[in-house]
Amino acid sequence: MLDAARLRADFPLLRQREHGHPLVYLDNAATTQKPEAVLTAIADYYRTTNANVHRGAYGLAIRATEAYEAARAKLAGFVNAWATEGVVFTRGTTEAINLVAGAYGRAHVRAGDTVVVTAMDHHSNLVPWQILCQEKGATLRMVEISEDGRVDLSDYGRALERRPKIVAFPYVSNALGTVNPAAQLARLAHAVGAVVVVDGAQSTPHLRVDVQALDCDFYALSGHKMLGPMGSGALVAKPELLDAMPPYHGGGEMISRVWDDHSTYNKIPHKFEAGTPNVEGAVGLAAAVAYLEGVGPERIAEHEQALAAAAIDRLTQIEGVTVYGPRDHRAGVVSFTYGDIHPHDIATILDQDGICIRAGHHCAQPLMRRLNVPATARASFYLYNGLDEVDALAGALVKAGALFGYVPA
């Protein structure tokens, strides 16, 4: 396992105390904390380099542009993008998926076509496809999940018989922690001629991701879930698909020539980056990538899996606790319920001990309906969490249970 205590020292916020207790931050699937290296990179950018990018004729603006484009190259290398110009900076996964639905989807999906999603998709990999299908008169086909929270491969096969235009799925589920066999799902979808969209919000921070090995077509990620700034993220795509796509947003920066009644467009990726971009976000995200590379994605995955296994082991020993999702091929997300205690009550009680967990539907309402629960409590781990924090979680849960008359096993 990683030396979590040593890594934690790199994160100023984690030194805080909450209600008199050391802060135990277990809501990393929602967003992660930021290391000093990222905070410094952002501050340094503003102290030394800030100017608007791609349009300056002076040295400062050229250096700002170089910093922004170097960040793109850094991120491209991290996920083994097809090409640096195949990385479009966005506000995060949500905007990246809306870009694909709004530009590629609107150009290619017609009445009677099918788009496939899964029952474990986050709303941001579902609602954009609902909007597209409603607009086009296309069918949205949702693939069911198995009892233990995996994509049901036989239902996936049945969905592919419809020869969908687009197949979208999460690499890692934010609500169950399931790691989907993304390369296999992509291969099967390609075999019927579909374009594959992978929601990488929960995989990029936690696994070694190689989009070319996955062989998807579009891959969406969020910077703030991988130690980077809020409002940073990207769409990583095959350049030839981006080249052939109509623009998404219109405005400055994305054009080549503008006449009174029409325009020609800039080359990729700029065609999809209308307006002044979030340069601070890109620079901070590049610093986050450098930090993650320093630790090593494989070691991060291993560490989180060990924490999740320990948490599942501890939690399932508490009478009345149900843990959802698979027991193997999973990431560091542990969703659970405790008897009839409302998950929001669990989160509120744990907060008194300085423990931050999430409670709710996790933006996955179709999944919650299939689990037959309105909500779950969710602990999600990252590289700075340790086994001491799993102990704190289990201990606080037992205390919470006692308040509701549950006797610990």
**Hey, which residues are catalytic here?**
363
Using CB under 6 A as the binding rule, whether residue 125 contacts ligand 7TS is answered as yes
Smallest gap from Cβ 177 to ligand 7TS, in A, equals 11
Output the CA–CA distances (angstroms, integers) from residue 140 to 102, 129, 149, 161, 190, in the order listed.
15, 7, 21, 14, 18
DSSP for 206-264, please give it: TS---HHHHT-SEEEEEGGGGT--TT-EEEEE-HHHHHHSPPSS-STTSEEEE-SS-EE
Smallest gap from Cβ 101 to ligand 7TS, in A, equals 13
Nearest one of 212, 199, 241, 214 to 90, comparing CA atoms: 199
Q: Which helix (H) or strand (E) holds 269?
A: none
Using CB under 6 A as the binding rule, whether residue 170 contacts ligand 7TS is answered as yes
Using CB under 6 A as the binding rule, whether residue 122 contacts ligand 7TS is answered as yes
Using CB under 6 A as the binding rule, whether residue 127 contacts ligand 7TS is answered as no
SS3 22: strand
User: How far apart are alpha carbons 308 and 206 in whole angstroms?
Assistant: 13
Residue 10 has which token pair? 């790199």
User: How far apart are alpha carbons 238 and 60 in whole angstroms?
Assistant: 32
Output the CA–CA distances (angstroms, integers) from residue 370 to 112, 147, 182, 295, 376, in the order listed.
27, 9, 22, 37, 12
Smallest gap from Cβ 230 to ligand 7TS, in A, equals 9
Length of the chain: 409
Which residue in the shown chain puts its C-beta closest to ligand 7TS? 174
Nearest one of 89, 297, 97, 330 to 198, comparing CA atoms: 97
SS3 139: strand
Using CB under 6 A as the binding rule, whether residue 33 contacts ligand 7TS is answered as no
Piece of 87-95, 108-116, 180-188, 211-219 that binds ligand 7TS (CB under 6 A):
87-95
Whether residue 408 is preceded by a cis peptide bond, meaning omega within 30 degrees of 0, is no
Out of 29, 132, 186, 196, which residue is the one contacting ligand 7TS (CB under 6 A)? 29
**Binding positions for ligand 7TS, 199-228, rule CB under 6 A:** 199, 201-202, 222
Smallest gap from Cβ 349 to ligand 7TS, in A, equals 20
Q: Is 123 exposed, middle or buried (0-12, 13-18, 19+ CB in 10 A)?
A: middle
Piece of 86-94, 247-255, 269-277, 299-307 that binds ligand 7TS (CB under 6 A):
86-94
**Binding positions for ligand 7TS, 336-365, rule CB under 6 A:** 358, 362-363
Out of 32, 33, 65, 93, which residue is the one contacting ligand 7TS (CB under 6 A)? 93
User: How far apart are alpha carbons 406 and 69 in whole angstroms?
Assistant: 56
Tell me, by CB under 6 A, how many residues bind ligand 7TS.
17
Using CB under 6 A as the binding rule, whether residue 197 contacts ligand 7TS is answered as no
Using CB under 6 A as the binding rule, whether residue 30 contacts ligand 7TS is answered as yes
Smallest gap from Cβ 191 to ligand 7TS, in A, equals 25
Smaller CB separation from ligand 7TS, 30 or 373: 30
Out of 86, 92, 149, 269, which residue is the one contacting ligand 7TS (CB under 6 A)? 92
Q: Which residues bind ligand 7TS (CB under 6 A)?
A: 29-30, 92-94, 122, 124-125, 170, 174, 199, 201-202, 222, 358, 362-363
